[in-house]
Structure 1
Amino acid sequence: MPMHYFRLVSSEVRSQHLRAITALSSPDLSVPEVQLTDQTAYTFISRGVSSSSPSSTATVARQLASLPPEAALRRVMLFSSQDGALSLNVFETEGAAEPLFGANPDARVDEMAFRLRLREYSQQLSAGEFVGQPNHPAPSAMLSDAELERFLSKCSSRFVVQHVPRLLYKQLRLYQAVAGTEAASLEMEHGYEDDKEATLITAAIPGLTPRAALEKGAALLGRYGLGLRRAQVDDVRDGGGGVTLLRMLVSPEGAELSGTAWGQLATDLTRVKWLDDAALALASAYPSIGLARAEVALALSSLSLSVLDHPLLGRPQVFERLTKPTVAVHAQSLADLFLQRHQPASPLPDALFTSSLEAWERGIEVALSEEEDRALLRTMGSAVRNTLRCNAFLAERSALVLRMDPHFFAPALPPSPNANNLPYGVFFGAGRHFNGYHVRFRDVARGGLRVVLPASTEAHTAESRRHFNECFSLAWAQQLKNKDIPEGGSKAVCLVEPVPGADREDLLHGCVKRFTDGLLDLLTPDPAVVNQIAFAADQKADLLYLGPDENITTTDIDWIVERAEQRGYPLAQAFMSSKPRAGINHKVYGVTSEGVAVFLDAGLRSLGITPTAQPWTVKLTGGPDGDVAGNMLKILDREYGAMVRVVGIADGSGSAEDPQGLPMEELLRLVHSNLPLMELDRSRLSPQGQLFSADTAEGAAKRNSMHSRVRSDALVPAGGRPSTVNASNWKEMLLPDGTPSSRLIVEGANLFLTADARQALFDAARLPIVKDSSANKCGVICSSMEIVASMSLSVDEFLSIKETYVEQVLDRLRELARLEANLLFTESARQPEVALPILSERISSSMIRVSDSLSAQLEGFSTEQQSRIWPLMRDQLPPVLFLNHAQRLPERLPWEYTKEMISSGLAGRLVYREGLQYVEGMGDARLSSASLAYLQQEQHVRKLAQEVAASGMASAAAIESLLMRGGVRAAVDDLPFRK
């Protein structure tokens, strides 16, 4: 064995190896390889490795793949015997790590000896003895004794003592370059230890596990015809996610690599942490395709799932077809065309691009015999035609993100006879372990970012097929919901691939970072980034605004805002709402639930129940530790006390049922302690009460059916996956006599019921259902109010008024919910044959029509006209903001935003005040005139009302109220265009 084997492996372990080698050498044993396993390492001893050639990268990859998924590597060591008869590869696991200066006295002797060698080397560096020698670091304050001590404190004992000082300092320098960042750093030392064929590759890679680093590194080496002689991988745990240090001693297995090839390998190694395993596998199967084209081809195939409607083209089948030789060659040429089109220095001209794509399309029709292959490639070709720009040429990108022409998705959009439902813009992102969509229906739009992690590969396959449809449906629901605010509707859905053995929180957070950072690539005005993106002359820059949704944590929110600031995004504080400190956290203040509670109250009263004066029952989905459900429990207790009984509740952990009412005090304990339902004290239940754990088959069945089984006056879905109640199972909501198990549903959770399920329940049982776009609209209204403050105030200024501001926002939320609830149930009484969800959509559509119409009218306003209508902003902003900062607001709030805020505010007042019939009875041309007239006459009537209020008349208040309620419409009706 080589000398470094004896330096790196303890005598005790060497004895174990010797016994295994003796057994392997026995003529009675004919196996080519022996595996040793203990609590700290997996060792593979193999026969017949030539001493003149490196260990096979394929062998290392095979051995890595054979390890259990949960085996997290701490270090890897590869050895070849000097006579070429044996290879010995050691994969040490987490248990092998021992802290520096730990309790082991034997280790301390080695550590102190190494420290002396480090000091000697440090003195030589400082004296300049190695200046001009490229394999030694230059003297630097970054290599001071204090910096070295900080580095060593994060390392294991073995990592430190088994290095020569020069290489340890090299790794310190690489670690310093990447610590606290997402970028990787790498150095290559050719002719290592005077061996002209040997190259030492040293890399520092944040956010990638040692095992993944070695797996991806070995896969890349195989593509470049390089074999491994030795490899070590360790991680430095610095509290910021850790940095993996990878060292590979390699040499060519065939021809020498050119300088260009070494440079490309270095680029690939620094990007490998961002690459999805499937892209790496495609590049390994077809070396000529290269990583860049493989990544593009895989992204296009994943994007195609959004519009492919074919039972044989699910996610696994698409990738399987992509790797067929007959398909891969066409995918490679399409990826080439894509990259040529978006080459920033000289993008392929329109005419040449169009003719080349058409020729490619004709080629696949002739060359391929299977319709499924042609269908996949046709759709991928359409995706290339409809890609407006991408970040493919950014060196440090963390994902591939495409800005799409929404027309690409037209085949997947549901029929919409009464409204144009083509999105304004769509982004698609593909990266390591995730795909993501962002869909918006206006230039300025707002909506949440949710992260979905299916429980299994099979579930992920099913979610992949409906990924775009879910994002589109959520964004459209958001568009209807955002009727009260200046922003249109949007939604982002990041679908994460399950990874065996991966930490769930690390996986989710990593995918959120990669997706949002990829979006920022196409949003930032930073010239260094913009110059690497090919923009068509008529393309307009995008601005996106996000909010928190499913599986987004405060850590994610803080990181996204901080990253937006680092990337130079305009109004970075507005990029993400619900910031824990400088924002209005939805869960802390219960903003969504406040609106849901208002609709619930109005719905109960429409049934003849006075919820503050008579007993009633409710069931909820969503746990006490969730945002909407937890806050609903607090509001129910605050507003109704002993009058309300919670007879059922279900969350991810299980469900609880009690016809006598679950103990509210115990439920609130879980809410305040942020605990799931299964932490409920069973002893507090009544004799009829039951608690079911979702860990058992029976418990899961009870949990999954609680919302349909348990009888109650009201059901509030406040958590759960979209389409829980759908066309195939809506009848489960009915009791044997055909009546619904709940007399009222108020959708606190988005899309809990599908549209056809809502209509079917109305047709069968006249069940009133308050649609999500009405019931939970207050969350996004709050986010909009938060962003207005972010655009107007510094962080310190906002914090100084935060508590007052939040109280005023909550008052505004309850008012807007009450206005719509009153109109919704008033219209329902007038039109009992129409389901509530239809009325809800008509209210939204009417308000959007008015808002869009007025916005178009205000578009051409002069500066003087803009200043005249500025006072209308008083009605749209919390008083503490308007009164304290009125002078700066016109400068801080762009006219585009102000215009939309005034338009949406007037639309709400008009529709809530005058009703549906008034708006729906007007065509677009008349509505355009009427909306501007309504704005003008409202200002006039407001002045009259103020004069009445100041008159001192005994009935002034009543007259003022009547003027504002009916005077504006009367004034508009008297205008000539209405005659």
Structure 2
Amino acid sequence: MTLPKIHSQKWLSEVELLDSDMEPSVELKPANIENFFSSISDTKACDKAATSILNVLSKELEQTIPWYLSQMPPLYLWSTSQNALIDDILEIVSGKVLSENQIAERVSAATQTTTFIAAGEHSTATFRIAPLLSKHKAKVARLFNTLDKKIGLCELYQAPYTTEATWNAAKSKLKLQSLKEILSQQPKNLVDSFLTSLDKDYVEVATVKQMSLAFEAVKYSIENENTYVNLTTIMDENTSDIRVRVDICLKHFPVTAAMENIIGIFNRYNFQVRRFLANEILMENNQRYTILHLISASPTGEMITDNMKSWGKVLKGLKTLSYVDHGDEFSSLLLGDSPFSLNETNLVRAMANWVHIFLTKQNPYYYSKDRVSRIIANNPVYMEFCIRYFRARFDPRFVGDRKSEAQHYFDEIKLFYSELSDVVERNILKEGLNFLSHILKTNYFLISKGGLSFRIDPSALDKQFYPETPYGIFYMIGRNFRAFQVRYRDISRGGMRVVIPKNSGDYENALAGIFDEVNGLASAQQLKNKDIPEGGSKCVMVVRPHADKNEAVKAAISGLLDLIVTDSKIGALAEGIIDYYGKDEIIYLGPDENLTDDLIVWIIQHALHRKYKYAYAFMSSKPDFGINHKTYGVTSEGVNVYVDNVLRYLGIQNSTFRVKMTGGPDGDVAGNELNILYREYGERCRVVAVADGFGAAHDPKGLNWGELIRLFKESKSIVQFDPSKLSGDSKAFVISANTKENIKIRDNIYATVEAEVFIPAGGRPYTVKESNWDRYLLPSGRPSSLAIVEGANIFFTKEARQKIVDSGVVVIKDSSANKAGVSCSSYEIIACLTILPEEFAEIKDIYVKQVLEIIRRNADQEAKLLFREWLKNKNNTDLVKLSYEISTEINQAKDILLDKLNQLKDEELVVDKFHFVLFKHCPPILVEKYKDRILNRLPRAHKIAILSAHMASHVIYREGLNWLESMHPDQIFKVALDYIEAERDIEKMVAELASSSISFKNEIMEVLKASGAKHLASSRM
């Protein structure tokens, strides 16, 4: 044996330094080390020491081997190789697992496994191993306890997931045959997909029974959104031992994290976990399912049943697990002597997220996510008071004076933070209470849910930062996502945008700005929805990088539906929801960024499954029962009406002109706008620059139209523009955004390239802000375009837009320019509320054509009003201000009319003049075929919204701004009614003239249509 030579005291000091974290034994103190080595420096002494060690090991192995083999469950012995079994026994002895209560960890490179072995009486070994698991990845995991419950062993299989040669082994072939027999009555396609998806290592260690249970779990999870949990009682007749097998299926949940969390849930409620098999199944379309089978028993030995109170808490925890983040700052709350439940922890997490989002506006450094989370998590008394306050308000099982109990804890929380000297900490805890006290309803107490959802009273918002108060706020939080839905009127409509950041930094930034984004979009939507019955709304959700987008969307939608779906018999929300709002809420969504057709279809199907009264109208742009915006170029049809009016104002409608755009040929608005520009202007329109998320193209002489239309039709990015189709100009290029330099060019091309018209038809919100607006100026100081027509929402901040306007650019604001999309969706909603899908299919072509005609007409009316008003007072206003004023005036008139109409009884609304307005608003084909349905099936609230929107917009488009300025609300209502009556009379006159033989009848009819209603209404006032 070669021994280390001790060179100096320095060597001894280094040894001591390496050992400084441990209390050294007397024998290993530096003074004795030299004597220790010299005493064994001869071969005889070494042999003697080796013999002594072997004797000790032999003695321990003699005791351990028979004990281990008799105490490990048969399943372990049946499915574990002899080599692995020997390694496990050696690990127990050499790792002093039993003798010194250690946790041994063995990593095998050969088998690509990691094994943990821990000692612990009464199955506590399982709970000691659990916190170590989520640090490791695994596709299969097995956990066993000895029958005497002295040792726990967990084995993680970490080789790559493979389905190659899964069933080739003789043992596996026998399993396959048995499994096919068991599943013979199941859908063949699903069985085949399941069998071809199983990992080779899983098949080797799993029993046929376990695999058949896994199939049942996967099948359930494909058909349902909630967590699969199945309980089977097992009674051992020989020992009278009563235990249960629990089968669980989670979607897109890491195996080890699932095990750690589930063991924690069972531990919290004192249930033993004796055995555990967990595995991942990767099905087609990248759908991942984590299947878990565990054997458990109650601490008292009594039978576990669905009615047992403590088991009910475990079940709730398991159902909650699928929508709770894991491994963050709040996961530690589940541990310790007084742990919080999974649901309580998620409530605290939701509160902390709210606090961060709304306080970061004051100071992003003081109120960073980490700091907010840390301060809340370090105040257990505060958290406990918050949970009790929340329970007093919303727990359906609460007995006693709910209001008094809630007030008590409200005061306790207030007192707690008021006594803090640290202003930042005080503000964080104060905002937490602000969140809790403004919740109007929540799905927290429902057992099955996709995530937590809250309806928030908008008065929770700080007026300093949000002077304009929305009508309603929904806040949703779940595993890997956060979402808000904001609406500015009771009946509102707006798209659902899914933001998918590329990395954790982008995720933190998106999360901090999520409410400003959704609120800004909803507010802009409110302005642009002036022509239609619905007010403005928006839903924005931020999904964690690399998380499953579809699962996140489904969880958020499920949570939203929890708070709006009422029982048709009693008209109330689901049992378990305390509702302080107390009224029905109708929510209409639409597609936006990253919301694909498959999700649109799923949302409708899920709303139908949940029996939502207005399921078909819940989401617009459905592939079948809807008007797909991209297919029909809906938004772009409206945008181009404004482009055309701008060209006429500039006097170049018949000349050659240049256009630059953000948004690629594959985009909804940008692609269709390219197509319409070529349709309307042909080669006279030269598109000189296009930029999208993947790159950019520029040609001073105009990008080749044939190539642009090809990319549009094939739905491809601008980076796939064929460079050979460029004009040959030295400044022309096509680049991919794959280098810092190219990204910079792509990001600035909208500002640096000259054109007559710039159409932002894609790009992130607030791309242009006060700090960078001057990039839009050329070196000469003049702007790089004569006009801007905002096809994209909030591309500019308010301040940046005004700076550009002041520089001399003609700007058509987004709330005017791109309103066509929401208008189209509004007409889709009317169809969904009145007719069936198959009936819509019969009239779809005509219906869409008529809707597009209405959209173009409304856009043209507003565009002409904008320029008319501007030319009246060009020195004192601009088109952006006028756009806002038109929207504001129409919306104010809508609100006044809405209020007055809501005061009318049902029978007062069933009169000809109101029917006239309803029919004028709807596409003619719907009136022609389903007139009675319009009257009978539209909800009262929706009919009133149609009446107020049509009357308000119609009058102001005809008569101009300030027409109603000096009128009292009662007078406005009367004037609007008089105007509608006058229109009815004028329509009759025009009809009679049309059938007459009077001279100049066409000219007279045009005069009557243009100004007859105003004259007639004025004469009657």
What is the TM-score of this pair, normalised by structure 1? Answer: 0.87
Q: Which residue in 2 is equivalent to 1:945? A: 990
Is the aligned partner of 1:359 residue 2:411?
A: yes
Q: Which residue in 2 is equivalent to 1:407? A: 459
Structure 1 residue 705: Cα displacement: 1.0
State the SS of the aligned residue for 1:305.
helix
Question: What are the superposed Cα offsets for residues 146-198 of structure 1, whole Å, 9 maximum, x if unpaired?
Answer: 99888656544554554445544544554554441122223265678969598
Distance 1:748 1:46 in 2: 59
State the SS of the aligned residue for 1:376.
helix
Q: Which residue in 1 is equivalent to 2:777? A: 734
Question: What are the superposed Cα offsets for residues 623-681 of structure 1, whole Å, 9 maximum, x if unpaired?
Answer: 21111111111111111111111111111111111112122222222222222222222
More displaced, 918-927 or 705-714? 918-927
AA paired with 1:187?
Answer: L
Q: Which residue in 2 is equivalent to 1:875? A: 920
More displaced, 221-230 or 425-434? 221-230
Distance 1:116 1:471 in 2: 54
> Any conservation in 2 of the 1:616–1:713 contact (CA below 8 Å)?
yes
AA paired with 2:709?
Answer: L
The verdict on how the C-alpha distance between 1:47 and 1:153 changes in structure 2, with shifts beyond 3 A counting, is closer
Distance 2:234 2:978 in 1: 78
Structure 1 residue 618: Cα displacement: 0.9
Bigger radius of gyration, 1 or 2?
A: 2
Q: Which residue in 2 is equivalent to 1:128? A: none
Alignment of 1:711-750 (within 5 A): 711-750=754-793
Q: For structure 2, which runs of at least 5 residues remain unmatched after alignment?
A: 1-68, 97-101
Question: What are the superposed Cα offsets for residues 302-340 of structure 1, whole Å, 9 maximum, x if unpaired?
Answer: 22334323441122221121211xx23212221221122
Distance 2:898 2:299 in 1: 68
The verdict on how the C-alpha distance between 1:320 and 1:616 changes in structure 2, with shifts beyond 3 A counting, is same
Structure 1 residue 826: Cα displacement: 1.7
More displaced, 349-358 or 899-908? 349-358
Q: Which residue in 1 is equivalent to 2:978? A: 933
The verdict on how the C-alpha distance between 1:212 and 1:801 changes in structure 2, with shifts beyond 3 A counting, is farther
Matching residue within 416, 441, 459 for 2:488: 441
AA paired with 2:514?
Answer: H
Matching residue within 530, 535, 556 for 1:515: 556
Alignment of 1:263-342 (within 5 A): 263-277=312-326, 278=328, 280-284=331-335, 287-308=338-359, 309-311=362-364, 312-324=366-378, 327-342=379-394
Distance 1:159 1:423 in 2: 53
Distance 1:956 1:58 in 2: 94
The verdict on how the C-alpha distance between 1:684 and 1:347 changes in structure 2, with shifts beyond 3 A counting, is farther
Q: Which residue in 2 is equivalent to 1:136? A: none
State the SS of the aligned residue for 2:780.
coil
Distance 1:37 1:783 in 2: 58
More displaced, 220-229 or 426-435? 220-229
Distance 2:560 2:519 in 1: 18
> Any conservation in 2 of the 1:445–1:488 contact (CA below 8 Å)?
yes
AA paired with 2:871?
Answer: A
State the SS of the aligned residue for 1:546.
strand
State the SS of the aligned residue for 2:158.
strand
Alignment of 1:495-510 (within 5 A): 495-499=542-546, 502=547, 507-510=548-551
Question: What are the superposed Cα offsets for residues 89-126 of structure 1, whole Å, 9 maximum, x if unpaired?
Answer: 2323443444654xx3xx1x213433676699x7xxxx
AA paired with 2:799?
Answer: D
Q: For structure 1, which runs of at least 5 residues remain unmatched after alignment?
A: 68-72, 123-139, 416-420
Matching residue within 497, 501, 504 for 1:454: 501
Q: Which residue in 1 is equivalent to 2:1011? A: 966
More displaced, 930-939 or 833-842? 930-939
More displaced, 294-303 or 164-173? 164-173
The verdict on how the C-alpha distance between 1:693 and 1:224 changes in structure 2, with shifts beyond 3 A counting, is farther
Aligned residues: 925
Is the aligned partner of 1:248 residue 2:294?
A: yes
Alignment of 1:603-642 (within 5 A): 603-610=646-653, 613-642=654-683
AA paired with 2:734?
Answer: L
Distance 1:348 1:369 in 2: 35
Matching residue within 477, 493, 518 for 2:540: 493
Structure 1 residue 809: Cα displacement: 1.1
The verdict on how the C-alpha distance between 1:37 and 1:829 changes in structure 2, with shifts beyond 3 A counting, is farther
More displaced, 672-681 or 769-778? 672-681
Distance 2:481 2:745 in 1: 32
Q: Which residue in 2 is equivalent to 1:888? A: 933
AA paired with 2:1002?
Answer: A
Matching residue within 114, 138, 147 for 2:175: 114
Structure 1 residue 201: Cα displacement: 3.6
The verdict on how the C-alpha distance between 1:290 and 1:446 changes in structure 2, with shifts beyond 3 A counting, is same
Distance 1:383 1:119 in 2: 53
AA paired with 1:300?
Answer: M
Matching residue within 105, 108, 111 for 1:36: 108
> Any conservation in 2 of the 1:410–1:422 contact (CA below 8 Å)?
no
The verdict on how the C-alpha distance between 1:895 and 1:221 changes in structure 2, with shifts beyond 3 A counting, is closer
AA paired with 1:343?
Answer: D
Q: Which residue in 2 is equivalent to 1:95? A: 161
Q: Which residue in 2 is equivalent to 1:131? A: none
The verdict on how the C-alpha distance between 1:762 and 1:145 changes in structure 2, with shifts beyond 3 A counting, is closer
Is the aligned partner of 1:65 residue 2:135?
A: yes
Alignment of 1:390-401 (within 5 A): 390-401=442-453
Distance 1:840 1:548 in 2: 25
Distance 2:985 2:399 in 1: 56
Alignment of 1:796-945 (within 5 A): 796-833=838-875, 834-859=877-902, 860=904, 863=907, 866-869=910-913, 870-922=915-967, 924-945=969-990
Q: Which residue in 1 is equivalent to 2:723? A: 682
Q: Which residue in 2 is equivalent to 1:76? A: 141
> Any conservation in 1 of the 2:126–2:263 contact (CA below 8 Å)?
no
Question: What are the superposed Cα offsets for residues 386-407 of structure 1, whole Å, 9 maximum, x if unpaired?
Answer: 1111111111011111111111
Structure 1 residue 451: Cα displacement: 1.1
> Any conservation in 1 of the 2:118–2:128 contact (CA below 8 Å)?
no
Q: Which residue in 2 is equivalent to 1:133? A: none
The verdict on how the C-alpha distance between 1:99 and 1:185 changes in structure 2, with shifts beyond 3 A counting, is farther
Distance 2:416 2:301 in 1: 35
AA paired with 2:322?
Answer: K
> Any conservation in 2 of the 1:429–1:437 contact (CA below 8 Å)?
yes
AA paired with 1:35?
Answer: V
Distance 2:605 2:264 in 1: 34
Distance 1:142 1:368 in 2: 66
More displaced, 819-828 or 308-317? 308-317
Structure 1 residue 220: Cα displacement: 3.4
> Any conservation in 1 of the 2:533–2:945 contact (CA below 8 Å)?
yes
The verdict on how the C-alpha distance between 1:253 and 1:317 changes in structure 2, with shifts beyond 3 A counting, is farther
Distance 1:783 1:455 in 2: 31
Distance 1:819 1:733 in 2: 30
State the SS of the aligned residue for 2:910.
helix
- Aligned sequence identity (%): 32
Q: Which residue in 2 is equivalent to 1:775? A: 817
Question: What are the superposed Cα offsets for residues 798-837 of structure 1, whole Å, 9 maximum, x if unpaired?
Answer: 0011111111111111111111111112222222231221
AA paired with 1:321?
Answer: I
Structure 1 residue 207: Cα displacement: 4.8
Distance 1:203 1:46 in 2: 23
Distance 1:173 1:874 in 2: 52
Distance 1:13 1:883 in 2: 78
More displaced, 336-345 or 56-65? 56-65
Q: Which residue in 2 is equivalent to 1:344? A: 396
AA paired with 2:79?
Answer: L
Matching residue within 355, 361, 384 for 2:436: 384
AA paired with 2:294?
Answer: M
